[in-house]
Amino acid sequence: MTHSDARDRALKWLEPHFDSNTHQQVQDLLDSDSETLFDSFYKDLEFGTGGMRGLMGVGTNRLNKYTLGKNAQGLSNYLKTEFPDQKISVAIAYDCRHNSDLFSQTVAHVLSANGIEVYLFDALRPTPLLSYTVKTLHCQCGIVLTASHNPPEYNGFKVYWQDGGQLVPPQDKGLLSAINSLSFEDINFNARQELVHAIGTALDEKFYTDAIKNGNLGSTPMDKENVKIVFTSLHGTSITMVPEILKRAGFNNVHIVKEQATPDGNFPTVDSPNPEEPEALKMALDQGKLYGADIVIGTDPDSDRIGIAVRNNDGELELLNGNQTMVVMTDFLLQKTKSEHRISDNSFIASTVVSTPMMIELGKFYGVDCLLGLTGFKWIAKMIKDFPDRHFIGGGEESYGYMIGDFVRDKDAVTAALLACEIVALTKSRHSSFYQHLLELFTQTKCYQEKLISITKKGAAGLEEISTIMRNIRRVPPMMLGGQKVVRLEDFESSVSSDLLNHQSTPIDLPKSNVLIFYTEDGSMIAMRPSGTEPKIKYYISVNTELNEVDQYASVKSILLDKIDQITVDLESLR
């Protein structure tokens, strides 16, 4: 699209069905004729792996009253098509971000204007509670206004279906078609307030009961008293539930990072409210050292991602990555399920194609299938829906998300926080630790080390640059990575897995996605994909080798990190 085309699109926002405030903001952009004008109008804001997420402001490529209103109108029309002659209800939650509460009202107004019953939380709540609410209230749909861990200028719109999971095929395409068939003047903003019902704390109480049931591993009151916890909500929604669930579960030694406890969409004490980034947990780590904490826990603004630090074998607090946390949590859930004689041929754990292959090895050890999906927890939720006769134990992904059982159908940092504390309590009572257990798992399977590289490419030019990188790699794929021969290439866009040694191809039985995964002869895995929620291209590196003794971990880790460095250099040449 040219700058002239974008300007023409902007002029349409001066028409009467847009309000005067919008008129003024658009006119200011037109008068300045800046690059912001082009970026605001050169395309429509799209749905990605986490719904629709973008910068706030006027324009078709921004999150605002009209882009949200159009989504809500399209959703209303689609729900009526999918559930004819039924009473339709939708649950809505929102986080701490700027305008989240106002945006939730906008969406509620449009839905109710179309005759749909709305259950709207009366204050900010964690995302997993929205998933739980959809199931508990038997709603056909749910919406949460959040941009997860994105910077303060972002917000978003995530849609959940009646199973409590995020939207997946075929509903996602059906909804998009309904939205794209509309123009902005089709939006009905005339709310019917009698159809909008406030949700208080009743759902919180039910959630606490089910979360404690699922996250409890059987530690004793004394075990829990011996655990010191430092917790930060990073100015997000988890402050409304995590401290309370830990208290109800019997963990009383919880130190809350007060400087980050107040919900605030500016996230003033961090550059990014993302527990995947070590800097975000620096304040909590510093206080953890002073407090003598056994575990430090941080969650992102909508409380679906969790980052933790635990004491390593030198007694120092060490941040774990999402893969490491996931495998330890999964192992303890598998242990619990096995001890209760509930593991069967129908049991399964789950992860994603870009997460650590150690999850597959863990499943093999227990005789349990590990099912893999594309990036995003909606695919794990879809597995549960697609296989209703199977028993889902738990699962996660490298990006610091975890789900315990199927009572919630999205990543859930509230219950995961409890599970992490339970693991610390149990291992400490056995004169071990969360960290020591991870190292023992490495000796049981293999020692895995992973690294994520995220490169930001903003705006229309950045989007094209990311597309060019992926296109060029497909055109001339690397034959060597980290000094090792590439033996298999999986292209999820063409749905083909190519055995490069035997020159054979097999189909990939997953939805098409812009993902490439390379496997080398030494068992390393290198994946790459554009982010579905941020202007980034992401590279995932996983390497492994044998670890015979826990005492050898430091030297083996050093070898693996050197291998990651070699692969990183090769990836830089591909950019």
Annotated catalytic sites, by residue? 148
Amino acid letter, 271 = D
Question: Cβ–Cβ contacts within 10 Å for residue 104, how many?
Answer: 23
CA neighbor of 144 nearest in space, from 408, 514, 520, 518: 408
Cis peptide before 16 (omega within 30 of 0): no
Q: CA dihedral in degrees (201, 204, 209, 211; nearest 10)?
A: -170
Report yes or no: 113 and 106 within 8 Å, Cβ to Cβ: no
Rounded CA separation 487/524 (Å): 10
> Nearest to residue 562, comparing CAs of 548, 550, 547, 545?
545
Q: Which CA distances in Å does 82 have to 68, 79, 170, 171, 178?
A: 21, 5, 11, 9, 11
Q: At what angle do helices 553-574 and 459-475 cross, to 10 degrees?
A: 100
Tokens of 380: 């794990």
> Furthest-apart CA pair in the chain: how many Å?
72
Please spell the DSSP secondary structure of 211-280, one letter per residue.
HHHHH-----HHHHHT--EEEE-TTSGGGGTHHHHHHHHT---EEE-GGGTS--TT-TT-S---TTSGGG
Token digits for 537?
């291209």
Six-digit token string for 334: 């598998």
CB count within 10 Å of CB 355 equals 28
Q: What is the C-alpha separation between 240 and 130, in angstroms, rounded?
A: 14
Structure tokens, 371: 């099912």
Amino acid at 293: A
Structure tokens at 556: 């083996």
Q: Which of 9, 57, 5, 28 is nearest to 184 (CA)?
A: 9
Closest CA to 258 of 303, 291, 224: 291
DSSP E strands in 390-524: the ranges are: 391-397, 401-404, 447-456, 480-481, 484-491, 496-499, 504-507, 516-520
